[in-house]
């Protein structure tokens, strides 16, 4: 819905070509799907992670020249950030979007303590504060023409409750305990005592 509102507001305040393009079609909300992730080369202070999404734009017009930066916090401690991610939605098509994120070890470890406490206390959710900055000089286009919209810069902050997957955590913990119990090192350690 924010995509459609952004285009309509932008169309009202911009040039004729952009207005004509926006008014030429009934706008539908694009769909974004998580695909996978790929870790990058770790350094002593951080590890880059590349999150891959697929954007599906059902509209006859596309959108380009829009960028996103973000930071995620829990308990006031940042644990993930990414910046200058270009969002390009091809008309009537699918676009792969790769979001580079950086996990800074010291930030992650500061955030892990409160998160671990919430998991151990069996809380159902963990509050995550999301700070997103969206900016750019959007351009709408189709196969024939394109029109620029107005430059904008906005920041959105929202706290979301992320569900804690207790079933998956319990299953992983049980699997790890079984492996430890079967390990030769544990049997050697038991013989010592």
For helices 166-182 and 184-192, the axis angle rounded to 10 degrees is: 60
Higher pLDDT, 193 or 87: 87
Q: Which fold would CATH assign to domain 2-164?
A: Immunoglobulin-like (2.60.40)
* pLDDT-based confidence at residue 14 (cuts at 50, 70, 90): very low
- Which has the closest alpha carbon to 7: 57, 45, 77, 43? 57
User: Within its chain, how far is the Cα of 44 from the centroid?
Assistant: 24
pTM above 0.75, yes or no: no
Taking residues 43-71, what's their average pLDDT? 83
pLDDT at 148 over 80: no
| Helix (H), strand (E) at residue 188 | helix 184-192
Taking residues 4-18, what's their average pLDDT? 50
Output the pLDDT for position 24: 61
* pLDDT-based confidence at residue 187 (cuts at 50, 70, 90): low
CA–CA gap between residue 131 and residue 40 (Å, rounded): 24
Strand 93-104 to strand 152-163: parallel, antiparallel, or no bridges (unpaired)?
Answer: unpaired
Number of C-beta neighbours around residue 41 at 10 A: 6
SS3 75: coil
- Which has the closest alpha carbon to 114: 74, 141, 148, 160? 74
Percent of the chain clearing pLDDT 90 (strictly above)? 0
Taking residues 60-85, what's their average pLDDT? 84
pLDDT tens figures, 133-143: 878 877 777 77
In order, the DSSP letters of 91-124 are: TTEEEEEEEEEEEEHHHHHHHHHHHHHHHHTT-S
């Amino acid at each position: 819905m924010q995509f459609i509102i952004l285009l309509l507001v932008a169309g009202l305040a911009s040039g004729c070509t952009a207005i004509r393009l926006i008014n030429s079609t009934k706008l539908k909300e694009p769909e974004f799907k998580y695909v996978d992730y790929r870790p990058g080369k770790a350094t002593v202070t951080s590890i880059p992670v590349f999150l891959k999404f697929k954007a599906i734009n059902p509209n006859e017009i596309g959108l380009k020249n829009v960028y996103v930066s973000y930071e995620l916090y829990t308990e006031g401690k940042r644990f993930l950030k990414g910046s200058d991610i270009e969002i390009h939605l091809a008309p009537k098509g699918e676009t792969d979007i790769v979001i580079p994120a950086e996990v800074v070890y010291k930030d992650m470890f500061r955030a892990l303590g409160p998160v671990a406490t919430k998991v151990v206390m069996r809380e159902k959710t963990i509050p995550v504060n999301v700070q997103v900055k969206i900016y750019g000089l959007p351009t709408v286009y189709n196969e024939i023409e394109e029109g620029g919209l107005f430059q904008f810069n906005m920041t959105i902050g929202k706290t979301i409750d992320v569900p804690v997957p207790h079933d998956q955590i319990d299953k992983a913990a049980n699997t790890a305990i079984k492996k430890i119990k079967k390990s030769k090192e544990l049997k050697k350690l038991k013989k010592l005592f």
